[in-house]
Amino acid sequence: MKPNDKKNKTSESKNVREDKVIFNLDKETQFSDWFTEIIKTAELADLRYNIKGFLVFQPWSVLAMEAMYDYFERDLQKRGHKPYWYPALIPKSNLTRESEHVKGFVPEVFWVTEHGNNEKLEEPYALRPTSETAFYPMFSIWVRSYKDLPFLTYQRAQVWRYETKATRPFLRSREFYWIETHCGFKNASDAYQHVLGDMQTTERVMHQIFGIPFIFFQRPQWDKFAGADNTFAADTIMPDGKIIQQPSTHMLGTHFAKAFNEKFNDESGQEQLVYNTCYGPAISRMFASVISFHGDNKGLRFPFEIAPVQVIITPIAAHKNPSVNAKALQLRNQLFDTGLRVEVDSSDKMPGEKFYYWEMKGVPIRIEIGPKELDKNVVMLYRRDTETKTEIKEKDLLNAIQKNAFELSANLRKQADQKFENVIRDAKDRKELEKIVNDRGFCRCNFCSINLDGARCAETVEKEIGATVRGKRIDKDEKPFGTRECVICKQAAGVVVYIGKQY
């Protein structure tokens, strides 16, 4: 820990607790340190496991990510997706069947080649880097008729990729946790409707529940998923202004259907190829956005819905009145029975120390109860986002928690939305583009094309400016503005794109 010298306003005004500060780093100016330290201090993951790029995820992140899985799975099930568990291993002969897919993934594969004491397996098996080549061979067995379509599946699973870039916990590691959906459709139009549905799931879950704002882009043709006709991906920002990709969804067309013989008989009895789509919300990477978007200089701040502990009850001065602990436990049991994740901190730490600890951990609501409160049949309710305390009548506690929980999550989302909007700025030429992306901005500008004829300008952006073209947004039809010239080649712009530095 490197405590920040500059005291922030809050700690100045409450300097009675100053000596107990356990986390204080300026997120905006020292984001890289902040991110590393909060993972350690809040015990989110331990990096000391002895395989490079592999983490041990600890309870405080696992509990939140389990809640995140639940929200995504419920949304997918509601849309008709059914859950599967596929093998973690994929035969090499499957993985190498679709030519673009091979090129994209084989360099990153971990291979299982032996068993027991140096005995060779019949063929090498890939630890799945993604599961198209596991799912679609089975689709070819199961899907026979147009009546079997749409065929909507998903699995929650981890995947393994031998990343050659520097790994970063939660953001880019060699093992990560995700959901992958795989679907089959009668035609491209049904497939595209489903891809739009994936974007709506992203909005309902990642934005509305987790509070992470994003823009869904159609990726340029030179930046597609290996084996897709078209890739759509949600980009959001990190506090240092870098762009990070969150869920992506892909129009796979009939590439995998051809490779794995996925065919069905249509209404007139004709044999047709199945159209596939897949969607991949990466839970462990989304968790990185949850902690870095919502956290502040004191530590984590969880949206109520996915907090590992939603309400922490801290008894105060219990030695003066033993009924304090009994009351704390009684409240805990009452709240627990309503389905809340609630705990009592009955450790022998001083109150200030407990407060700092649970604030650092990001617990949304703290309930304080001491002899004074006991006498008056009240409790104090502290909110992590506003840092305010309110006296609540004991009988109104559940209502107050629900109301504050709702407001807190909405407030975190609003603060995140504002941050995101603030970084988006228009550039009318290359000079402005460079200024914006070097100033932690996400630049909106005219561009010649996101088809392959735009690849050369994109290369200039990457090599000379150190940024990437993220694509054309999907939710709005944006027309070239101002000069209507590509910011790089000055040719007539065909499209408005967003450019930023990539994480």
Residues 6+ apart with CB under 8 A from 363: 302, 307, 309, 310, 311, 312, 384
- Report which of 490, 57, 417 is spatially closest to residue 203, judged by C-alpha positions: 417
Shortest gap between Cβ of 141 and its own copies (angstroms)? 6
* CA count, 13 A, side-chain hemisphere, 201: 30
The residue range among 17-25, 117-125, 232-240, 245-253 that interacts with its own copies, by the rule CB under 8 A, is 117-125
Provide long-range contacts, Cβ within 8 A and 24+ apart, for 351-354: 351/314, 351/316, 351/317, 352/16, 352/17, 352/20, 353/20, 353/22, 354/314
* 439 lines the binding site for its own copies (CB under 8 A): no
What SS3 class is residue 257? Answer: helix
Shortest gap between Cβ of 86 and its own copies (angstroms)? 6
Shortest gap between Cβ of 126 and its own copies (angstroms)? 10
Alpha-carbon distance of 496 to 86, in angstroms, equals 40
* 125 lines the binding site for its own copies (CB under 8 A): yes
- Window 318 to 337, contacts with its own copies (CB under 8 A): none
* 50 lines the binding site for its own copies (CB under 8 A): yes
For its own copies, which residue of 1, 56, 196, 317 counts as binding (CB under 8 A)? 56
- φ and ψ of 478, to 5 deg: -90, 130
Shortest gap between Cβ of 94 and its own copies (angstroms)? 7
Alpha-carbon distance of 136 to 492, in angstroms, equals 42
The residue range among 79-87, 368-376, 426-434, 463-471 that interacts with its own copies, by the rule CB under 8 A, is 79-87
Alpha-carbon distance of 378 to 164, in angstroms, equals 56
| C-alpha separations of 17 from 11, 14, 345, 372, 381 in Å | 8, 6, 18, 21, 18
* 116 lines the binding site for its own copies (CB under 8 A): yes
* 110 lines the binding site for its own copies (CB under 8 A): yes
Task: Using the minimum distance from each CB to its own copies, give the nearer residue, 62 or 329.
Answer: 62
- Report which of 189, 191, 198 is spatially closest to residue 234, judged by C-alpha positions: 198
The residue range among 47-55, 189-197, 362-370, 484-492 that interacts with its own copies, by the rule CB under 8 A, is 47-55
The residue range among 9-17, 115-123, 204-212, 463-471 that interacts with its own copies, by the rule CB under 8 A, is 115-123
The residue range among 81-89, 255-263, 358-366, 451-459 that interacts with its own copies, by the rule CB under 8 A, is 81-89
* CA count, 13 A, side-chain hemisphere, 187: 3
* 137 lines the binding site for its own copies (CB under 8 A): yes
Intra-chain end-to-end CA distance of the chain, in Å: 24
* 146 lines the binding site for its own copies (CB under 8 A): no
Shortest gap between Cβ of 291 and its own copies (angstroms)? 16
For its own copies, which residue of 26, 33, 36, 84 counts as binding (CB under 8 A)? 84
**Binding residues with its own copies: total (CB under 8 A):** 51
Q: Are 344 and 329 in contact (CB under 8 A)?
A: yes
The residue range among 137-145, 235-243, 297-305, 440-448 that interacts with its own copies, by the rule CB under 8 A, is 137-145
For its own copies, which residue of 5, 9, 16, 85 counts as binding (CB under 8 A)? 85
Task: Using the minimum distance from each CB to its own copies, give the nearer residue, 93 or 189.
Answer: 93
Task: Using the minimum distance from each CB to its own copies, give the nearer residue, 59 or 466.
Answer: 59
* 188 lines the binding site for its own copies (CB under 8 A): no
Q: Are 240 and 475 in contact (CB under 8 A)?
A: no
Write the DSSP symbol of residue 487: T
CB atoms within 10 A of CB 208: 16
Q: Are strands 342-344 and 263-265 parallel, antiparallel or unpaired?
A: unpaired
Shortest gap between Cβ of 62 and its own copies (angstroms)? 5
Shortest gap between Cβ of 49 and its own copies (angstroms)? 6
For its own copies, which residue of 162, 192, 222, 420 counts as binding (CB under 8 A)? 162
For its own copies, which residue of 20, 41, 57, 432 counts as binding (CB under 8 A)? 57
* 63 lines the binding site for its own copies (CB under 8 A): yes
Task: Using the minimum distance from each CB to its own copies, give the nearer residue, 142 or 481.
Answer: 142
Q: Name the strand (E) or helix (H) holding 498.
A: strand 495-500
Place of tokens 């597609």: 224
Strand runs (DSSP E) across 268-359, as ranges? 271-273, 275-279, 311-315, 342-344
* 108 lines the binding site for its own copies (CB under 8 A): yes
Q: Are 164 and 175 in contact (CB under 8 A)?
A: no
For the window 230-269, what string marks contact with its own copies as x by the rule CB under 8 A?
A: ----------------------------------------
* 80 lines the binding site for its own copies (CB under 8 A): no
* 82 lines the binding site for its own copies (CB under 8 A): yes
| C-alpha separations of 416 from 175, 205, 239, 480, 481 in Å | 28, 15, 10, 28, 27
Interface ranges with its own copies (CB under 8 A): 46, 48-51, 54-59, 62-63, 66, 82-89, 91, 93-94, 106-117, 121, 124-125, 127, 134, 137-138, 141-142, 158, 160, 162, 175, 177
